[in-house]
Amino acid sequence: MNRFRENLILIREGKDPREIRDEFVKVEGILSDVYGAMMNEEPYHGLEHIHLKVLEASGLYLESVREFMKFYEDNDNDHFIYAGLKAN
């Protein structure tokens, strides 16, 4: 998550988003792994609500990165806005 935030800061400072594409691919892979692992995890009794919150947050970050990655398909800068809103 911190890495995702740092990359968004780079964009705001005028870096070309294409320069950080590989970083976002890595972040997407990590978040996808975390989300998948959590989906298959059975939380301890009494911690189900926390598990669901973390799972939901992980899913939102994953959706956000995937939204950002759509920029590379169509070059539409609006994906930055939608990705940022999802991450927030």
Give the model's pLDDT for residue 45.
93
Phi/psi of residue 6, each to 5°? -60, -40
Q: 45 vs 37, 42, 49, 69, CA distance in Å?
A: 18, 9, 10, 37
Q: What is the pTM of this model?
A: 0.70
Instruction: Tell me the C-alpha distance between 81 and 85, whole Å.
Output: 6
Tell me which of 9 and 77 has the higher pLDDT.
77
Q: Which domain holds residue 71?
A: 2-87
User: What mean pLDDT comes out for the span 63-86?
Assistant: 84
Give the model's pLDDT for residue 1.
42
Task: Indicate whether 8 pLDDT > 60.
Answer: no
Instruction: Tell me the C-alpha distance between 4 and 87, whole Å.
Output: 9
Domains: count for the chain: 1
